[in-house]
Chain A
Amino acid sequence: MDLISLYPTWYEPTVGSGWVVALIATFHVLASHTSVGAALLFAYLSHKAYREDREDLLDFIKKYGLFLLVFTYVAGSITGPGIWYSTTVASPNGIGALIHSFVWKWATEWVFFVIEVVGVYMIVYLVGKVDKRTHMKISVIFGLASWATMLIIVGILSFMMLPGKEQWFADGGYLNGFYGTNTFIQLGMRTAFMFTITAVVGGIVIAGIKDPAFKKEMARKLGWLGIISTIVGALMFQWYLTAVPEQALLVMENRLPDYFMPSIVAVLAGTLAYFIITMIRPQTLVQGFAGAMAVIILVAGLWPEETARESMRKPWVAGQYVYSNQVIGRDVPGMDIKSQLPLLEKVGILKAHPFTPEHLREVNEGNKIQAGEFIAMTYCSNCHSPSETGIRPLHRYFPEGVSQERVAKYVKGVLTTGNIAYMPKMPMTDSEVDALAAYLVLNNNGGQAAVTAAIDSEIAQRDRALAEKNASDKVAALDFVQEVK
């Protein structure tokens, strides 16, 4: 048998598996960036507390640390592997490609994670229980180790967009895949925005400070941190756009929602205004205001940024060789990886997929909708939900009442040949094209209810045929027994 590395498909009809990944990832980015930024801030504050012998700064670290422990370390440490879990079920070959190339990088990051987790408890619970010098040393280690986790993950995130160096395709090698222009610029950008988020979330803790003078001092410190990092981050973002593939820019121009750029600009301007206000009038900084700002940044800033990064990679999901529908669409001689497209062109998707049920391996009139659904789930559903809602729903792409013939022509002419900029090439046999077209038309015109009814009818027909065959076999067997007697 000719099989390729395709897994079953998970279909989440309400929001779509892609949004589930994006939701968890966005939440994790907020939590992890806050944690890393705060860790570096703590290193600075603890050093200052040691030099100037100040208790109030350590008290601030304790309060901010405890807040982070509950809201970002708990949620952040769980949503970190949570991204693995969600990508595993939404895009197993995407995460598999990263894991198999960067397993040791992740393992190295894990060493720093362990240091980070032990460190955060020590930073919080040892205030007042160890001398200031020791606390300062723990804080410095904690801050550097936290940043090290970011250094590592940014290389892997960059590889998702494109391998560090073009040479990786020919020669392979972890270093060629990890380090590139994109890696360093993204690192600078993330480090800057990390401080912005830290300054915003830190406002929630500053809001609780009772002493007006200390509140003013901390508001100013975090305000300056926020202003500088926001401006640097915005500049780095512009620079970052020069280091992504042209295809990504094309997607950005044409496929990102209209609200993307205005939303980013509004968030940046709002963030700067927020820091200026809280620096000038620290008394305006109350927990509700600071908390609301953290949510606004999450919803209006990080969400579009993370989803844009996901969209810009299309049609790839990892390393410019794994398509978003999990098929390997390019040779990577350096890693001895072969494109799976030639095999798909030869035998079709149904015969190449290891999880195709036996009765769907050949398309016929009795299984057309089931086969079409299977193909749509495999090839399309990662980016286009077959439901009413969810990620870029399929029904939006076909006019009402579209004919099966027209859809089949589109599938054969555009999808199987890869003649569309942001979508993978999806080889199919003629019968598979027919099945997919039949399914798409039914789904478009009648929705899920019509598809379910058609599939139920196909199954009932199959069961009836099977029962009839069994009955005739029994009769034949009885005739045979009687003849023998």
Chain B
Amino acid sequence: MDASQVAQVTEMMYALRNPAGIPTFPIIFIGLGVLTFALHILFVQLMLGTSAITLYGAFRENAYWRRLGAAMLEIAKVSVSVAVVIGVAPLLFVQVIYDPHWYTSNVLSADWVIAFIVILILAYWAMYYFYFRNSKNADKTAVPSSRWSMLISLALMLVVGFIMHSLTSQILHPELWKEWYMQNGKLDYSGDQLHAFNIWRYAFFISMSIPVTGAMLVTYRRFKSVREDADHDYLNWAAEVGKKWIKVGSVIATVLYVMWMVTLPETAGNFATSIWGILGGVAVIGYALWAQLRLRGEARFCSYMALPMALVIGLVVAISREILRYDILNGFFHYDFFDYKIVMDWYSTGLFFLTFAIVGGVVLSYFLTIAWKSGQTVGVYTPGAGVNKLGTLSIWIVVLWIIQFFVVGFYVWAQ
């Protein structure tokens, strides 16, 4: 592309920006986008990996695999929900900062965007169908019925992953948007095609399901091992599978990461050999090394560190991914999100951070404490005074939030 063509693309991207501007500094949206993407993709990988174990267990003639498959199905169900709900945040932030890119990419593949919603619902329902067909059977080593539904569920989840991957890839090619809008010399309003993908990038993010699920298995053993009714042979076996998955999976993912970097478009310049290009791959292979060193034998503390470590690795990759986007869109096409018009709104900015820290922090601490303790208790769990007070505090915090909503609202309304 010559300079005048690049200038035309730059002008188009700036023209598409929303004139309402944004209510705080753009870097804050990018930071939150990266953080929440890392959390989202972790649960996506967990949902894929635990679904794969459920499916594998269902087809294996092995009692341990069958039990593990049934246990991982519980995690898969929750992971889909959490992946969806956490995914709302990066979806929100990307359209604040990169609205020209996200909206164009979506409109040009609109049929697929709508299909995404339908396919994801079907995938989730297929998983629940498998669950309801087998949940009443107390013998978790029996051959599960309706295995096809789990197969469909996993296949559909991979399809929605690919749609999202493609939409994200299309963002990186503003030089091709107008070409994609024309098919065979004619304007194409149908939105029936996905126009861009990088199979290595897609495979890399999917392959990270292996080490992430390995981390879940290691954590699963540690968590369940304190229960009075724990079957230690089975749990140790699961943890060994998990350790192997972390190590082998990280190596596979690193190879795919390298392939992704090798196949970056020219517009990415030298990103692959830059510090962040290298750091992403080093972080992934570093996970295998960490598992080799820190997950030997019982590893009572580090077993609980396996998932947080996976999140840290995911965060490094998420930062690399964001810098790659910046390098292409700013480095080559001169679209700089830092110069987005700011119409500062301190109240709504402050309210979010306070809600996030205080309401989210306190309530989720209470919820997760209860979930954790009850999961480790045989029979009925009755919390002590401290946890009970945390529960009461959580209620009051939400009540106060609702009161401030109305107080501020009526005050503004009455002005």
A→B interface (CB under 8 Å): 1, 3-12, 17, 20, 24, 70, 73-75, 77-82, 84-86, 88-90, 92-93, 95-97, 99-108, 110-119, 121-122, 126, 128-131, 133-134, 137-138, 140-141, 144-145, 147-148, 151, 164-165, 172-176, 178-181, 183-184, 328, 332, 335-338, 354-355, 357, 370, 373-374, 377, 381, 455-456, 459, 462-463
Contact = CB atoms under 8 A, between A and B. Distances in A.
A295 B12 CA distance: 46
B370 interface: yes
A137 B391 contact: yes
Contact of B412 (A88, A133, A165): A165
Given A144-B399, A463-B185, 20 more contacts: A5-B17, A5-B19, A8-B107, A8-B177, A75-B121, A81-B88, A99-B18, A100-B20, A103-B92, A104-B24, A104-B348, A116-B85, A118-B364, A134-B382, A141-B394, A145-B398, A148-B401, A172-B343, A336-B341, A336-B343
B413 A184 contact: yes
A103 B355 contact: no
Contact of A88 (B22, B80, B95, B96): B95
A110 B89 contact: yes
Contacts of B263: none
A7 B352 CA distance: 30
Given A20-B114, A92-B107, A129-B374, A77 B84 contact: yes
Q: Is the interface of B mostly helix, strand, loop or mixed?
A: helix
Nearest to A152: B405
B371 A122 contact: yes
Given A3-B15, A11-B189, A370-B187, A85 B88 contact: no
B287 interface: no
Interface stretch (B44-52, B98-106, B137-145, B249-257): B98-106
B37 to A, nearest CB: 14
Interface in B193-218: none
Contacts of B360: 111, 114-115
Contact of A121 (B12, B81, B88, B182): B81
A340 B161 CA distance: 38
A351 B165 CA distance: 33
A70 B128 contact: yes
A266 to B, nearest CB: 30
Contacts of A147: 402
Contacts of B24: 104
Contact of A106 (B78, B92, B177, B359): B92
Given A96-B95, A144-B402, A175-B347, A10 B110 contact: yes
B338 interface: no
19 contacts: A7-B107, A10-B190, A78-B120, A78-B121, A80-B88, A81-B117, A106-B92, A107-B32, A111-B352, A115-B364, A116-B85, A133-B388, A134-B381, A134-B383, A141-B394, A175-B412, A179-B409, A354-B16, A377-B187
Contact of A4 (B15, B32, B382, B388): B15
Interface in B203-259: none
A289 B249 CA distance: 51
B91 A84 contact: yes
B157 interface: no
B136 interface: no
Interface in B112-126: 113-114, 116-117, 120-121, 124-125
A111 B108 contact: no
Interface string B366-400: 11101100100100111100001001101100110
A101 B92 CA distance: 12
B345 interface: yes
Contact of A81 (B84, B355, B367, B413): B84
A113 B88 contact: yes
Interface residues of B, number: 98
A144 B16 contact: no
B299 interface: no
Contacts of A179: 408-409, 412-413
Determine which residue in B117, B128, B345, B380 has the highest number of CB atoms from chain A within 10 A of its CB, and name it: B117
B413 A85 contact: no
Contact of B413 (A100, A126, A164): A164
Given A3-B11, A118-B364, A86 B114 contact: yes
Contacts of A79: 117, 121
A5 B16 contact: yes
A145 B395 CA distance: 9
Contact of A86 (B81, B117, B349, B415): B117
Contacts of B117: 24, 78-79, 81-82, 85-86
A114 to B, nearest CB: 6
B363 interface: yes
B113 A85 contact: yes
List of 7 A-B pairs having minimum Cβ-Cβ separation, nearest first: A3-B15, A11-B189, A89-B110, A10-B110, A104-B348, A82-B117, A100-B20
B85 A96 contact: no
A8 B108 contact: yes
B113 A88 contact: yes
A352 to B, nearest CB: 9
B181 interface: yes
B178 interface: yes
B128 A74 contact: yes
B348 A105 contact: yes
Nearest to B16: A5
Contacts of A101: 20, 23
B108 A134 contact: no
Nearest to A358: B178
Nearest to A321: B20
Contacts of B78: 121
Contacts of A113: 85, 88
Contacts of A5: 15-19
B279 to A, nearest CB: 28
Contact of B364 (A93, A114, A174, A370): A114
Contact of B20 (A131, A183, A335): A335
Contact of B114 (A85, A117, A336, A337): A85
B20 A97 contact: yes
A313 B293 CA distance: 62
Given A8-B107, A77-B81, A174 B88 contact: no
Contacts of A12: 110-111
B278 interface: no
A118 B351 CA distance: 22
Contacts of B187: 357, 370, 373-374, 377
